């Protein structure tokens, strides 16, 4: 059974990230599962650091985008919105080229917070980064 409050199309999700940082880096959301969201990020001139491998910050952009988009799919967006509150990432191995894929899955779904685990894999299928994202669930009008 799917956990989502709303389930837009992949096209709509990708349009939503197209004109901001994830879109500029070439990120795409590729799958909405029953309890996870997947996406990919190219390892190219936009996302590499000076040593020729995927920049850790680019990994975090992929992780936070997947978790934040997923978090917002779980709430009534007429009443709430979700924003990243804290993120950590353990970079396990370098990725010099190809495409990194990520899968975000919720670990905790509370009334005012969510915690997501995001696993990133290199093109060879090996785990390259483990990230955990804490999300604040904010009532609209609480600014």
Catalytic residues: 64
The three-point CA angle 1-118-9 to 5° equals 50
Pull the structure tokens for residue 27.
């990120």
Question: What is the Cα–Cα distance from 5 to 76, expressed in whole angstroms?
Answer: 7
Interacting residues of 124 by C-beta distance below 8 A, sequence separation 6+:
none
């Amino acid at each position: 059974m799917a956990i989502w409050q709303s389930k837009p199309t992949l096209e709509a999700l990708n349009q939503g990230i197209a004109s901001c940082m994830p879109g500029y880096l070439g990120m795409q959301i590729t799958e909405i599962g029953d309890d996870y969201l997947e996406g990919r990020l190219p390892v190219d001139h936009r996302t590499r650091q000076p040593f020729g491998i995927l920049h850790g910050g680019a990994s975090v952009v992929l992780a936070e985008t997947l978790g934040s988009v997923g978090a917002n799919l779980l709430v009534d967006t007429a009443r709430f919105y979700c924003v990243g509150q804290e993120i950590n990432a353990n970079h396990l191995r370098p990725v010099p080229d190809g495409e990194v894929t990520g899968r975000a899955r919720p670990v905790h779904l509370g009334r005012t917070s969510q915690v997501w685990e995001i696993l990133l894999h290199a093109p060879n299928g090996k785990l390259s980064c483990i990230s955990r994202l804490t999300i604040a669930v904010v009532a609209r009008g609480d600014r």
